[in-house]
Every structure is written in structure tokens, then in C-alpha cells.
Amino acid sequence: MTHDQRKHRRKRRRAAVRHAIFTKTPKKLTGGRLGRVKPGKNFEVNEREILIPDLSDEFCGLKIVHFSDLHVGELITPAHLPHIVEAANAFEADLMAVTGDFVDYSNSYLPAVMEAMSDLRARYGVYFVLGNHDYLDDGQEVVEAFAASKLRLLLDEADVIQIGDNGCSMGVGGVRWSNLSNEMDMCVKKVNIAMKGCDLKILLAHHPHCFDAAHRHGIDLTLSGHTHGGQFLLSKKRGKKGSIGLANLGFRYTRGLYERGACRLFVSSGVGSWFPFRFRCPAEITRLTLQAVY
Ligand SMILES: [Fe+2]
């Protein structure tokens, strides 16, 4: 057995314990109530404005629909997917970004996820990156499922999209999952090169700490997930450094909008989760509208 296989086995064992205690047990104890679809109640549909310094006129009003962390499995069952897709499509996005953790623990839910994701629509395209949970069962199988579909999974790569008639271009890039800062920097650097010369650069990264590298490379907007907003917040209001809650124990960026210099980060609270309880931190799908600030 190789070093990587041993590492994956250890991760899978830890995930099995987590899954049994925090997902299966609460669902069982509540007679399956926690996994039920409650249309209009499982997640919030939010709208936010993002002010970007000296944004070209072509991009002002650009609508990006962003959601993350579906965790399709025993708790967020495939029956939730049509509601998520319907809510996302209702925004009539220019661009759509889905930032990982499609499946929670088992790839047996992957066909249902792929089918639902293929119903997403946006004027300039729908883009995907993978999260850590997508590697818990068989990451290669997830990558291959995307490759076999027409869905655009970004693995340290970017597309350049022409906007309007004035030669303006928007780069949409995405990085593969990592939680190591040197790897994140390497991947972001590679994606930034692929977006060279673009008037607006957007990065999809499951881990919000990629924002540090994105800021170093001057990427205008980073879209992330992974934290689930912390799921438990002391207050819905944000302090100077953002929301205060459980996620602060492990993350520099936990939920909502962050600004550093001219760069922006939006961290989704996730549309699903593996632990079934939230407090003052609802699941969400968000429409972000870009505007210029001078
Ligand atoms: Fe997640």
C-alpha cells in the first residue's frame, strides 16, 4: 500500500466515525425528521452587493449566484436537490459558482448530484470546484464524473470569457482542494497565470484561506465555502473581524464578505451540512451583484 493510500484510509476511518456520531445518530434519534425537505425552509436565499475598486463598467451589475457545501447523503438527501437548483436558477445569474463538498461521505449519491447540477443555468457559465468531502470516498471517481459530463470543473485552471463589445475579459478560475498554505499558493499562482490580462479575475476555492494567496496575486474576488459559517454563532451581527462562532476556532475567514486592499472574499455558509444543527447561521444560496467603488 502506498503512502497516499494509507493516508486516504486514515482519513476515511476518521470520516466514518464522524459520520456515525454526527450524521447518522442525530438523524436516527429524531426519527429522520432532520433529513426532511421543507421547501423554503432548508436554506435562505440571500442577496449581497460587492463593491470592487475601479470595476469596469462592463462588469457593474454582474450577477453571480454562489452556493457551496451541499453534502448530499443521508441528511441532505437527493430529494433536496431540485429545490436548491430551482432557487439558484430563479436568480437568472450571469455566472454561477458552486464551491465543493457535493457528496458528504459516499459516492453512491454522485449520479443524483451530477444530474441535478446539469440543470443549473447561467448566462456566462456554471463553474465548479471540489471540496474535501468529495475526496472522502473516491476523489478520482468524482473528477471522472465531471469529465464525463458537460459540467466545468476547475482543477487549477481558468476560463477567459469576453464580456461586451469593448474587449473586456473576465477570468474564472478554480483551485483543487488543499488545506496546506504552500499548496494553496502554488495552485492560486497557476490559476492567476491562466487569467493573465483579464480585467476581472474571479477565483473559486473551497478553502477560504486561499484568499491569502489570492490577495498576494491580486485576484479581485474569491468565492469559498468549507466553514459552513461555523453553524453556531454567538450573534448574527458581524464584528470588525467577521462573525463570532465555532468556526473562529479553526478559520481566519468564516462567513460573509471580507475585504483586503482591492481584493474581496465571500464565504458561503453552505447550502447543506453534515452536522444537522445550526444556530443563528442559516444555510444559504446567495446572489452577489458586483458594483464599482471609486
Ligand atoms: Fe462542507
Each residue's pLDDT, cut to its tens digit, for the chain (294 residues) gives: 788 888 888 888 898 888 888 888 888 888 778 788 888 889 999 999 999 999 999 999 999 999 999 999 999 999 999 999 999 999 999 999 999 999 999 999 999 999 999 999 999 999 999 999 999 999 999 999 999 998 999 999 999 999 988 889 999 999 999 999 999 999 999 999 999 999 999 999 999 999 999 999 999 999 999 999 888 887 666 666 667 777 777 789 999 999 999 999 999 999 998 888 888 889 999 999 999 998
H-only helix segments in 164-260:
181-194, 210-216
User: Helix %, strand %, coil % for the chain, to 5?
Assistant: 35, 25, 40
| Residues at Cβ < 5 Å from ligand 1 ion | 69, 101
In this structure, what CATH number is given to the domain that contains residue 270? 3.60.21.10
93 Cα: distance to centroid of ligand 1 (angstroms)? 23
190 Cα: distance to centroid of ligand 1 (angstroms)? 24
**Within the chain, what is the greatest distance between any pair of CA atoms?**
59
| Overall number of domains in the chain | 1
169 Cα: distance to centroid of ligand 1 (angstroms)? 31
Cα–Cα distance for residue pair 219/213, rounded to 1 Å: 9
58 Cα: distance to centroid of ligand 1 (angstroms)? 33
pLDDT at 276: 82
Residues spanned by the domain of 130: 3-293
Output b/e per residue, 54-66; b: 16+ Cβ within 10 A. ebbebbeebbbbb
H-only helix segments in the chain:
3-18, 25-29, 81-90, 110-117, 139-148, 181-194, 210-216
Task: Supply 270's cell numbers.
Answer: 453552505
Q: How many CA atoms lie within 13 A of 15 on its CB side?
A: 18
At 122, give phi and psi (nearest 5°): -155, 145
277 Cα: distance to centroid of ligand 1 (angstroms)? 14
249 Cα: distance to centroid of ligand 1 (angstroms)? 16
164 Cα: distance to centroid of ligand 1 (angstroms)? 36
180 Cα: distance to centroid of ligand 1 (angstroms)? 17
Residue 286's identity, in one-letter code, is T
